[in-house]
Amino acid sequence: VVCKKKYRAMLNSLILMLSWTVISEVARAQNDTEPIVLEGKCLVVCDSNPTTDWKASSSPLGISVRAANSKVAFSAVRSNNHEPSEMSNKTRIIYFDQVLVNIGNYFTFESVFLSPRKGIYSFNFHVIKVYQSQTIQVNLMLNGKPVISAFAGDKDVTREAATNGVLLYLEKEDKVYLKLEKGNLVGGWQYSTFSGFLVFPSVKEKEKKIVSSLTSS
C-alpha cells in the first residue's frame, strides 16, 4: 500500500512537471510571434498549414486576417471647368486632374478605377453644372455600361449638383468611371468630386461553407 502511494505521488509530480513544461513552451512561442490586430467583428480559424502568402492559402484565416491589409480607396477632384471638347477621343469620360487619395494606386491617370479583386465597392460622385440655363447628366459606368445616373437642370439655380452613390459587386479588373452624357461641368475650386473604396472582399465558396458551418454549430 505504501509503495502504491509513493508511486502515485511520483506519477502526479511527473505529470505536473510535464504540464508546466508544455505551458511554458506555449507561452514562449506566443511571445515570439507578432501580435495580429483585427478590426471589427472577426472570426478567427486556426490554420494547420499556414502559408506566407495569403493568396496561396485556402483557409478563412488566410483570407480574413491578411485581407485586412489589402485596403483600396480613392478620391479625386476636378480643378478646371470641363468642356466636352476636352474629352479625349470624344469618350466624354470625366477627367479628374487632382487625386487626393489613391490607396493601392487603382485609380488611373485616365480617371478610371480598375478593380484589383472581387468584392463589394462603394462609389459616389458630386458634379456641378456650369450655366444657369443648362442641364447636365452624369452616368457612372461599369465596363462601358451605365449603372446609375444623376441630373442637374434647375434653371433658377446657377450651380446645381448632380450627385449619386451606389454599392457594386465587382470582379477583378472591372472598370468604373464617370461619363458626361449632357452639358458642361464646373471644376474650379474643386466643386466636382469622385470617390470610392473597397467595403469588403468576396469570400470563396469553400470558405463560405466553412464559415457557415462554424457559425451554425
Q: What CATH number corresponds to the domain at position 188?
A: 2.60.120.40
What local confidence, expressed as pLDDT, does residue 176 receive?
Answer: 98
Residue 86 and residue 192 in one domain = yes
What's the domain count of the chain?
2
What local confidence, expressed as pLDDT, does residue 74 receive?
Answer: 98
Residue 90 lies in a domain: yes
Residue 81 and residue 159 in one domain = yes
Residue 38: count of CB within 10 angstroms of its CB: 12
Residue 25 and residue 83 in one domain = no
Calculate the CA 117 to chain-centre distance: 9
Residue 126 and residue 195 in one domain = yes
Residue 19 and residue 81 in one domain = no
Burial 171-209 (b: 16+ CB within 10 A, else e): eeebebbbbbeebbbbbeeebbbbbbbbeebbbeeebee
Calculate the CA 195 to chain-centre distance: 12
Residue 151: count of CB within 10 angstroms of its CB: 17
Give the integer Cα–Cα distance in Å for 125 and 121: 14
Residue 56 lies in a domain: no
Residue 24 and residue 110 in one domain = no
Calculate the CA dihedral of residues 80, 82, 87, 91 and round it to 10 degrees.
Answer: 130
Give the integer Cα–Cα distance in Å for 217 and 214: 5
Residue 110 and residue 188 in one domain = yes
What local confidence, expressed as pLDDT, does residue 12 receive?
Answer: 72
Residue 194 and residue 100 in one domain = yes
Residue 82 and residue 166 in one domain = yes
State residue 188 phi and psi, 5-degree precision.
-60, 145
- Cα 184 to Cα 112, 150, 151, distances in angstroms: 20, 14, 12
CA 52, 53, 55 angle in degrees (round to 5)?
150
Residue 207 lies in a domain: no
**Cell numbers 479625386: residue:** 76
Amino acid, res. 6: K
Domain coverage including residue 186: 72-201
Residue 191 lies in a domain: yes
Count how many Cα atoms sit within 13 Å of the Cα of residue 6 in the half-sphere of its side chain: 3
Residue 62 lies in a domain: no
Residue 24 and residue 123 in one domain = no
What local confidence, expressed as pLDDT, does residue 167 receive?
Answer: 97
Residue 64 lies in a domain: no
State residue 97 phi and psi, 5-degree precision.
-90, -10
CA 109, 111, 116 angle in degrees (round to 5)?
85
**Cell numbers 483600396: residue:** 72
What local confidence, expressed as pLDDT, does residue 57 receive?
Answer: 41
Give the integer Cα–Cα distance in Å for 209 and 214: 9
What local confidence, expressed as pLDDT, does residue 7 receive?
Answer: 67
pTM reported for the whole predicted model: 0.61
Residue 100 lies in a domain: yes
Residue 210 lies in a domain: no
Residue 9 and residue 95 in one domain = no
Question: Running along the chain, 217 residues long, what does each successive block of 10 average in pLDDT?
Answer: 66 68 52 46 48 42 46 92 54 89 96 96 90 81 96 72 94 96 74 94 65 59
Residue 80 and residue 133 in one domain = yes
State how beta strands 192-201 and 98-103 pair.
unpaired
